[in-house]
Amino acid sequence: MIALFDFDGVVVDSERQYAIFWRQVGEEYFGNPDFAMQIKGQTLDFILGDNFPQGEIPSIVDRLNAFEASMRYDYIPGFEPFFEELKRQDVKTAVVTSSNQQKMEAAYRYQPALLTMFDRILTAEMFARSKPAPDCYLLGMELFGAPKEETYVFEDSINGLRAAQASGAHVVGLSTTFPAEEVARYANVVIPDFLNFSYEMMLQLK
């Protein structure tokens, strides 16, 4: 049995901070205040390559790197005790994130324990297609040798939820980024955080 966690908005409470950055960029380049919500869950390479002129990309990357270096990476409420419960039950765990390695280095500086908590950390460099394609979660299953019936994915963004659903795994949706009723379209269960969620409740999703 394995549990695969998206990172931003699932393990750490960082999506609201990213929304500030990408909303500003979206308004600046496209006059689109909803840009931040439309791209959530996608890899940076996909966001940049699909939306911005090549000549503008280095400037945006520099701004993003500076922003990420100053971000907070506090855990979603209840995540740590829930995660410890999974470890006691010998559940294999991985972060499966659209973030690249450079961004994750900033997170490790803020939360050094992340480097040893999970059995694997899969970043954007490791899969060819961005969420909503299921590649990242299929890779997680492959690396652990786990069938979809024994895989639980924790996601918050619509692109990520679609990827999780397409992988065939059981999907726990967190309403940390999008409204619960929207998340529910792609998840077996919706939770606001991990405070009232347990290993036994996870098993009931089968």
pLDDT at 175 over 80: yes
Where along the chain do its domains lie? Answer: 2-13+74-203, 15-69
Q: What is the pLDDT of residues 149-169, one digit of tens each?
A: 999 999 999 999 999 999 999
Q: What is the pLDDT of residues 7-63, one digit of tens each?
A: 999 999 987 787 788 888 889 888 998 888 787 767 778 788 888 888 888 888 888
Please give the pLDDT value at position 165.
97
Please give the pLDDT value at position 36.
80
Please give the pLDDT value at position 82.
98
Dihedral (Cα; 48, 52, 53, 54), 10-degree rounding: -10
Please give the pLDDT value at position 38.
82
Please give the pLDDT value at position 93.
98
Please give the pLDDT value at position 197.
97
Crossing angle for the helix pair 158-167 and 135-144, nearest 10 degrees?
Answer: 50
* Domain at 2-13+74-203, CATH from 3.40.50.800, 3.40.50.720, 3.40.50.1000, 2.30.40.10: 3.40.50.1000
Residue 115, H or E segment: helix 114-117
